[in-house]
Chain A
Amino acid sequence: DSGVTQTPKHLITATGQRVTLRCSPRSGDLSVYWYQQSLDQGLQFLIQYYNGEERAKGNILERFSAQQFPDLHSELNLSSLELGDSALYFCASSGSAYQETQYFGPGTRLLVL
């Protein structure tokens, strides 16, 4: 158990819909990262937040957005969903130390029908 929790575990929805994925980092970790894992693209970094502020952006679509709240949990919002958005979405957290290890949650499996 990494200490990172993600909900829901599974999500099935239809094209055009909007969903919210939630992540609670390990206690004390200030950074939250979101990654997407699909069969064709592998594991890809989407976005990072540190103590409530966006710090880095990767291959995140404009239809996707995220935020980190004062209690440090984070939400990833996916809108106007397309079939190709079906993937595993992982959240990871790390502390504030130099070269800190990232701890990954169990992921949310999203299926868009």
Chain B
Amino acid sequence: DAKTTQPNSMESNEEEPVHLPCNHSTISGTDYIHWYRQLPSQGPEYVIHGLTSNVNNRMASLAIAEDRKSSTLILHRATLRDAAVYYCILRAPQLKYSGGSNYKLTFGKGTLLTVNP
């Protein structure tokens, strides 16, 4: 699996935007970029994913660099509930569905986001 690099920790203030960076210089042309987060004492939860174009959903936005060697997860207005470890994960696509044999997630250390009130 291609490797991702994230800062160990970041800090933000409540109701301010947060930009969480991820470097993935060895990404292959078909790898998807996924973000999961893990709130304290909970299992990881899906946040967003994308391939080339920027993506938005109700939780966050994902900005992908033109060369795809980096991406940024954007939380538009951080809340205290957004304090979590954020994981940037690359996933190879399934060219042909085969029962999910390539679907495992490889987690790095992630970024611990602290949100100050």
Chain B residues in 8 Å Cβ range of A55: 99-101
Chain B residues in 8 Å Cβ range of A90: 43-44
In this assembly, does A64 line the interface, its C-beta being within 8 Å of a C-beta of chain B?
A: no
**Looking at B99, B106, B109, which has the most chain A CB atoms within 10 Å of its CB?**
B99
CB distance from A22 to the nearest CB of B (A): 15
Selecting from B13-21, B72-80, B89-97, the interface stretch reads B89-97
Alpha-carbon distance A51/B100, docked complex (angstroms): 10
Alpha-carbon distance A33/B105, docked complex (angstroms): 9
Q: Are B99 and A51 in contact (CB under 8 A)?
A: yes
Other A-B contacts than A94-B100, A102-B46, 5 sampled, CB-CB below 8 A, are: A33-B105, A48-B104, A51-B99, A90-B43, A90-B44
Chain A residues in 8 Å Cβ range of B32: 99
Q: Are A56 and B101 in contact (CB under 8 A)?
A: yes
Selecting from A13-21, A39-47, A77-85, the interface stretch reads A39-47
Could you give, for residues 1-33 of chain A, a 1 whenever the CB lies within 8 Å of some chain B CB and a 0 otherwise?
A: 010100000000000000000000000001101
Alpha-carbon distance A68/B57, docked complex (angstroms): 33
Taking CB atoms and an 8 Å cut-off, the chain B residues in 42-81 that contact chain A are 42-46, 49
Q: Are A94 and B103 in contact (CB under 8 A)?
A: yes
